[in-house]
Structure 1
């Protein structure tokens, strides 16, 4: 037995692939807490939107805007605060605040119902907390996982998030039907309590140095300066903005319009989106099992080209079968892009700016998505959905090719270790 123990220790020290491939237990525990919290959020957001829709489109729009606006306005400040006091402390504070808020909201909603002002105030509270929570949550894997395991760690998180998103809507509908808005708030509080316990229990494995302190707003803007002056981060963020602006609206906005104009029916639209989801999950799970597929910048840019080809094929499809194949191609490209660009951004960020870079990343995605949803929706009414989808495909291919032409991005080997 002693000899066997010595052999095991020696193989581990020499770099046993099985030992190296395992994600730290602290990360797995944290991820469980994140996914439980995401499930609670999915249920609660459905309940919030459902309650707001009872008052018509204007109140529903105001409620959703009440979440988005403070989140966008405060993201950079939230990232600066997280870098200043540590991501874990910000997450603990955010979960504690939302736990208390959700319980109070449940009591108020039980006695008073869901008047519009309560729904809008709830949206504002959620948006403010998100502005601090999202950058901290995005930076947390870097504090729990070594750089060479980030692709697997983030892909596992992405796959879990996909499953939660698919099931959150139906689960929210059932819960709201049984327990109403107050019940959804209670469930949300329970998930925040669970995540809070997890965060208190875990400890970061990788220390991150603190940046010299200046004025908070100056620190917040410094995240933008660092992000867009970095040779790898700058093109990575531009690729991410292009994906958010020209790929995500294709799935959520343009596929339903394309199906209506082509008289395919709602079921066909669902099949196209489902095919995209299958392609994305399959690639994500491959990365979870085997790690990154190659140089992250090269793979990200190539994947965006592939996704663009899929979008282009979707716009040119004349049948549901062709559209489903195109959806599958989009999913493979989207999955490969997401599985490599997110670890690249997180691993390339200076250790003093982890949360601020994540704040910039979320901001770029949010602004691109909100702006392009409006623009593409308007263009689809004027020119038809197929023309707009083809245009999106051409833009994605062009941006992906420009990424391949960027030397620092294409050659970057961050996270590959000795590979």
Structure 2
């Protein structure tokens, strides 16, 4: 029990105040701060706008064929990857909140201009590619700043619940965003999607101007040039006894677990002769398992030592992937999807707060930039590598190989003493 709680209990005994009052105080302290909840609402509204806009961008680009569609999506990814580390350094220098306000204001203006241009000219390829570049550049600065905000708005002990709540909201939007985007794009086209995006950015901008960080994090000292400060985030991340293995686990999950869901499940379904509906049920089961675990963490906080659980969950997800690859039929594959979801949900809800809470105050946004970069590079590389290997060896072999690599990486994580024994988020238990 914290010293302040002990003092409150002693005062209660001396004055005859019933002990339950102390419990009520503790419960009030455990509630997520209003500033975080308000910020989260703004972020989720922004995600709705992104879901609509990204669908509209891809839909408009698909009219010109696969090459233009691929180039448009690459126009988002490439500048984002190239500038992420710089974006993290800028956020640590000038404050994450200022970077977010600037990014939202820029995208608000850009979306309105884009809507006007698209209404007049339609959506020619050059406009779509330029839009992708603009989105990618803003994302490179926005994502590290946004990733560091929970640490600035809630106490470290509340990070697992706070980030799990954010994850649940994101999952719900991902499930409903596609159908909503299809309806809106069908009604209003690319220009209408840009207007919707502008409205969501305006709402988020208002939210950011209202909230204030609850936990002061001083700006990083300007001891070197911006590029050196950006690279110092990589050095700090991979020399830290907890962050380094945590990032390796995250990279493995991005490279060998996420492609199973987005890439290999459809390929495996076609190879085994399952219907599209069966493949969809596998993904739905994964989503159910993931959301169920995440809701438990939202309710009661971390389920145990975060590093231990994250590594163990990666092993569990690997076992689920192995069951998926060896499943004799669609029913078994759905059950395997549920196991994968529980493992994925447990991993995500413990590794994210662990990385954020373990980051030095001077490098909050830079560590988030490294985290996003690790995920982006792993996913970008392995989607292409695994797709090519399926053509050579078949989907079943590649799914089993991913399972073996996930289990091996999880066991390696369990062998890391600093990661396995870290008790971040358990201080008040």
Scaled to the shorter chain, the TM-score interval is: over 0.9
The residue number in structure 2 matching 1:203 is: 212
How far does residue 414 in structure 1 lie from its aligned partner after superposition?
1.3
The residue number in structure 1 matching 2:9 is: none
Secondary structure of the residue that 1:114 maps to in structure 2?
Answer: coil
The residue number in structure 1 matching 2:35 is: 26
Aligned partners of 2:21 and 2:240: how far apart in 1?
36
How far does residue 211 in structure 1 lie from its aligned partner after superposition?
2.0
> For residues 34-77 of structure 1, what are the alpha-carbon distances to aligned partners after superposition, in whole Å with 9 as ceiling and x for unaligned?
00000000000000000000000000000000000000000000
The answer to whether structure 1 residue 120 and structure 2 residue 129 are counterparts is: yes
1:162 maps to which of 162, 171, 184 = 171
Aligned partners of 1:140 and 1:325: how far apart in 2?
36
The answer to whether structure 1 residue 329 and structure 2 residue 335 are counterparts is: no
Aligned partners of 1:160 and 1:266: how far apart in 2?
26
Q: 1:198 to 1:10 in 2, by over 3 A?
A: farther
Aligned partners of 2:253 and 2:167: how far apart in 1?
16
Q: 1:10 to 1:193 in 2, by over 3 A?
A: farther
The residue number in structure 1 matching 2:148 is: 139
The residue number in structure 1 matching 2:398 is: 388
The residue number in structure 1 matching 2:419 is: 409
The residue number in structure 2 matching 1:273 is: 283
> For residues 276-322 of structure 1, what are the alpha-carbon distances to aligned partners after superposition, in whole Å with 9 as ceiling and x for unaligned?
00000000000000100000000100000000000010000011110
The residue number in structure 2 matching 1:344 is: 354
Aligned partners of 1:7 and 1:236: how far apart in 2?
48
Q: 1:13 to 1:95 in 2, by over 3 A?
A: farther
Q: TM-score, normalised by structure 2?
A: 0.95
The answer to whether structure 1 residue 36 and structure 2 residue 45 are counterparts is: yes
Aligned partners of 1:270 and 1:322: how far apart in 2?
14
How far does residue 21 in structure 1 lie from its aligned partner after superposition?
2.4
> For residues 351-371 of structure 1, what are the alpha-carbon distances to aligned partners after superposition, in whole Å with 9 as ceiling and x for unaligned?
010000000000000000000
Aligned partners of 1:7 and 1:195: how far apart in 2?
47
The answer to whether structure 1 residue 319 and structure 2 residue 291 are counterparts is: no
The residue number in structure 2 matching 1:177 is: 186
Question: Is the contact between residue 158 and residue 284 of structure 1 (CA under 8 Å) also seen in structure 2?
Answer: yes
Secondary structure of the residue that 1:212 maps to in structure 2?
Answer: coil
Question: Is the contact between residue 78 and residue 133 of structure 1 (CA under 8 Å) also seen in structure 2?
Answer: yes
- Summarize the alignment of residues 37-52 of structure 1 with structure 2, pairs less than 5 Å apart: 37-52=46-61
Q: 1:211 to 1:381 in 2, by over 3 A?
A: same
How far does residue 169 in structure 1 lie from its aligned partner after superposition?
1.0
Q: 1:58 to 1:325 in 2, by over 3 A?
A: same
The answer to whether structure 1 residue 79 and structure 2 residue 85 are counterparts is: no
How far does residue 203 in structure 1 lie from its aligned partner after superposition?
0.4
Moved over 4 A (4+): 6-15
Question: Is the contact between residue 233 and residue 345 of structure 1 (CA under 8 Å) also seen in structure 2?
Answer: yes
Aligned partners of 2:196 and 2:16: how far apart in 1?
49
> For residues 192-240 of structure 1, what are the alpha-carbon distances to aligned partners after superposition, in whole Å with 9 as ceiling and x for unaligned?
0000000000000000022220200000000000000000000000000
The residue number in structure 1 matching 2:258 is: 248
- Consecutive unaligned residues of structure 1, counting only runs of 5 or more, are none
Secondary structure of the residue that 1:313 maps to in structure 2?
Answer: helix
Secondary structure of the residue that 1:292 maps to in structure 2?
Answer: coil
Q: CA RMSD in A?
A: 1.5
2:160 maps to which of 139, 144, 151 = 151
Out of 156-165 and 19-28, give the one that drifted further. 19-28
How far does residue 12 in structure 1 lie from its aligned partner after superposition?
6.7
1:282 maps to which of 282, 292, 297 = 292
Aligned partners of 2:50 and 2:292: how far apart in 1?
25
Aligned partners of 2:64 and 2:35: how far apart in 1?
44
The answer to whether structure 1 residue 60 and structure 2 residue 64 are counterparts is: no
Question: Is the contact between residue 12 and residue 19 of structure 1 (CA under 8 Å) also seen in structure 2?
Answer: no
The residue number in structure 2 matching 1:217 is: 227
1:228 maps to which of 223, 233, 238 = 238
Aligned partners of 2:371 and 2:136: how far apart in 1?
17
Q: TM-score, normalised by structure 1?
A: 0.97
How far does residue 10 in structure 1 lie from its aligned partner after superposition?
8.5
How far does residue 418 in structure 1 lie from its aligned partner after superposition?
3.6
Aligned partners of 1:358 and 1:394: how far apart in 2?
28
Secondary structure of the residue that 1:417 maps to in structure 2?
Answer: coil
Paired positions, count: 415
Aligned partners of 1:7 and 1:212: how far apart in 2?
50
Question: Is the contact between residue 91 and residue 145 of structure 2 (CA under 8 Å) also seen in structure 1?
Answer: yes
Q: 1:188 to 1:15 in 2, by over 3 A?
A: same
Aligned partners of 1:65 and 1:326: how far apart in 2?
32
